[in-house]
């Protein structure tokens, strides 16, 4: 009997999604490559492990896998981003037919998704680039899904995707059509940029409490537990509480983990994309650079032995730190949404920002009460910094953020995201900035010209600065 849906790639995410589909009543065809003595009978063995997969069929032959599916075929590709995706698509082309739908559920670059979509469209094959957030647990119980591509193709798979997606507070699926071309993967990329900064902000709050206030991890966990309610409640804070409580014997596990953080590329992509669009995403870039610096472990150890700076003795007020934490998060989300809006306008994706943000309310890594608050505001004004609610929060929290930054710097504690959120806020709320000096310098050495204040939309000017 022909099955309803196919999945290629049975890594951690592929397996969890397969079980999710099966738990929602869908019959599946599952494919995993065959590698002698390394990957053999992966799909069949996986099916035999879980009773919910009893209506599934396992394959390591691509042709028989494709032929087992109902037409138009609906195939989710869950392999590593990059060449592996192209290889799978190339191998599928000799077996699939016009009208079939391929879905790339990996973290592919949105420009690659554009090219793949065009290639397949020329052959009559539908292609959807879909961001998937939620990790292994989310994939199994309900992820956040961000599909982009042609609307007609999405409609053919909408029922499948919305059934397995997480549900928001109103029981609506956290799966919404994002827009055309590579918009789904772009939104997931920005999601990851926000995630980078959210993680770094929490790490900085931990560092402040641990190394300035000299608190133990369990004491910090208790403080974070008091934060994890109301507007500051979020998934990443929740998991950090568990992390800080974990011990190995009598030692906190966090103290046994090497302080070198890694990344898989999406943070770099976000920084590059925001630069190409001229839309500042400074917190994400600061978080990315913090990871780069953390990787310099040997250099940091050597330099720490050469330099010893004087420290302040003042402690940080925990209530002020909470306000600073939430204000930094507001700036982070604002910047991410601004990047999405700029991309939508530049590439003609027609992204509905409220729709997009709504899929982040549950099932994803950056799910939070803050996002729910943003949704309630964004319909009337996409610039959340202009809303009455956030204006009041920012005004009452600005002094706290400044105090936290000053105290941390006096203690020589690096806080790239806290300090960058303050820098950005001060810059974006400053009527007169430093751009005039930059333009004058550019005109001096490169004849790049400048505009005048008394005629900002008029002709460009050049000055002979030496005369």
User: What is the mean pLDDT of the segment spanning 209-227?
Assistant: 97
Residue 352 confidence (pLDDT): 93
User: What is the mean pLDDT of the segment spanning 208-214?
Assistant: 96
pLDDT bracket for residue 426 (50, 70, 90)? very high
Q: Which of 57, 37, 42, 54 is nearest to 12 (CA)?
A: 42
pLDDT tens digits for 100-144?
Answer: 999 999 999 999 999 999 999 999 999 999 999 999 999 999 999
CA dist., res. 401 & res. 275, Å (int): 26
Q: What is the DSSP letter of 35?
A: B
Rg (CA), the chain: 25
Tokens (6 digits) for 196: 């980078």
* Residue the block writes with tokens 């554009």: 114
pLDDT bracket for residue 467 (50, 70, 90)? confident
Which phi-psi region, left, alpha or beta, contains residue 146 (left: φ > 0; alpha: ψ -120 to 50)? beta
pLDDT at position 38 over 90: no
CATH fold, domain 5-181, is Rossmann fold (3.40.50)
Please, are residues 125 and 98 in contact by the beta-carbon 8 Å criterion? yes
Residue 267 confidence (pLDDT): 85
Q: Which of 259, 194, 271, 198 is nearest to 418 (CA)?
A: 198
pLDDT at position 457 over 80: yes
pLDDT at position 17 over 90: yes
C-beta atoms surrounding 124 within 10 Å:
11
Residue 72 confidence (pLDDT): 96
CA dist., res. 30 & res. 277, Å (int): 39
* Residue the block writes with tokens 């560092």: 207
pLDDT at position 313 over 90: no
User: What is the mean pLDDT of the segment spanning 291-296?
Assistant: 94
CA dist., res. 360 & res. 383, Å (int): 18
- Active site residue ranges: 188, 195
Residue of higher predicted confidence among 113 and 380: 113
pLDDT bracket for residue 451 (50, 70, 90)? very high
CA dist., res. 307 & res. 245, Å (int): 33
* Residue the block writes with tokens 């806020």: 425
CATH fold, domain 188-428, is 1.10.1040
User: What is the mean pLDDT of the segment spanning 417-424?
Assistant: 98
Q: How many Cα neighbours within 13 Å face the side chain of 298?
A: 0
Q: Which of 364, 283, 278 is nearest to 327 (CA)?
A: 283
pLDDT bracket for residue 463 (50, 70, 90)? very high
Mean pLDDT over all residues of the chain?
95
Residue 129: strand pairing partners:
104, 148
C-beta atoms surrounding 378 within 10 Å:
21
| Percent of all residues in the chain with a pLDDT value above 70, rounded to a whole number | 100
pLDDT bracket for residue 262 (50, 70, 90)? confident
Helices (H), 348-415: 353-358, 369-378, 388-410
Name the residue ranges covered by the structural domains of the chain: 5-181, 188-428
pLDDT at position 23 over 90: yes
pLDDT tens digits for 39-95?
Answer: 878 899 999 999 999 999 999 999 999 999 999 999 999 999 899 999 999 999 999
User: What is the mean pLDDT of the segment spanning 418-433?
Assistant: 95
Q: What is the DSSP letter of 181?
A: T
Please, are residues 424 and 280 in contact by the beta-carbon 8 Å criterion? yes
* Residue the block writes with tokens 């951690």: 12
pLDDT at position 248 over 90: yes
For residue 241, whether the previous peptide bond is cis, meaning omega lies within 30 degrees of 0, is no
Tokens (6 digits) for 248: 């190995």
pLDDT tens digits for 168-191?
Answer: 999 999 999 999 999 999 999 999
Q: pTM for this one?
A: 0.94
Residue 90 confidence (pLDDT): 95
């Amino acid at each position: 009997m022909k099955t309803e849906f196919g999945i290629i790639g049975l890594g951690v995410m592929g397996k969890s999604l397969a079980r999710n589909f099966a738990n929602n009543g869908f019959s599946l065809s599952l494919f995993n490559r065959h590698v002698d003595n390394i990957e053999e009978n992966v799909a069949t063995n996986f099916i035999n492990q879980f009773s919910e997969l009893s209506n599934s069929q396992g394959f390591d032959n691509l042709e028989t896998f494709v032929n087992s599916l109902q037409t138009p075929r609906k195939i989710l590709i869950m392999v590593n981003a990059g060449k592996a995706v192209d290889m799978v698509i190339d191998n599928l082309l000799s077996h699939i037919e016009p009208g079939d739908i391929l879905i790339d559920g990996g973290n592919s670059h949105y420009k690659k998704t554009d090219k793949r979509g065009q290639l397949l469209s020329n052959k009559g094959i539908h292609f959807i680039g879909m961001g998937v957030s939620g990790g292994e647990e989310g994939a199994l119980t309900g992820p956040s899904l961000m599909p982009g591509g042609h609307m007609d193709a999405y409609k053919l798979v909408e029922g499948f995707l919305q059934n397995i997606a997480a549900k928001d507070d109103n029981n609506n699926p956290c799966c919404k059509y994002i827009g055309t071309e590579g918009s789904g993967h772009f939104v997931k990329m920005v999601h990851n940029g926000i995630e980078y900064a959210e993680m770094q902000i929490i790490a900085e709050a931990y560092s402040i409490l641990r190394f300035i206030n000299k608190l133990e991890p369990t004491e910090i966990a208790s403080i974070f537990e008091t934060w994890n309610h109301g507007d500051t409640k979020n998934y990443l804070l929740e998991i950090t509480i568990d992390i800080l409580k974990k011990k190995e014997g009598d030692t906190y596990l966090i103290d046994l983990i090497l302080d070198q953080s890694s990344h898989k590329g999406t943070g770099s992509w976000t920084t590059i994309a925001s630069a190409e669009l001229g839309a500042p995403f400074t917190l994400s870039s600061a978080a990315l650079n913090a990871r780069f610096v953390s990787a310099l472990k040997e250099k940091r150890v050597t330099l720490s032995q050469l330099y010893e700076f004087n420290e302040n003795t003042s402690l940080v007020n925990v209530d002020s730190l909470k306000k600073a934490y939430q204000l930094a998060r507001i700036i982070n989300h604002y910047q991410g949404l601004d990047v999405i809006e700029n991309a939508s306008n530049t590439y003609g994706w027609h992204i509905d920002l409220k729709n997009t943000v709504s899929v982040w309310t549950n099932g994803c890594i950056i799910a939070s009460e803050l996002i729910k608050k943003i949704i309630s505001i964004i319909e009337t004004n996409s610039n959340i910094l202009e809303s009455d609610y956030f204006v009041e929060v920012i005004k009452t929290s600005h002094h706290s953020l400044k105090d936290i930054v000053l105290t941390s710097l006096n203690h020589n504690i690096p806080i790239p995201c806290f300090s960058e959120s303050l820098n950005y806020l001060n810059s974006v709320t400053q009527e007169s900035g430093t751009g005039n000096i930059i333009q004058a310098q550019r005109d001096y050495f490169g004849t790049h010209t400048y505009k005048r204040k008394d005629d900002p939309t008029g002709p460009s000017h050049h000055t002979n600065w030496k005369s």
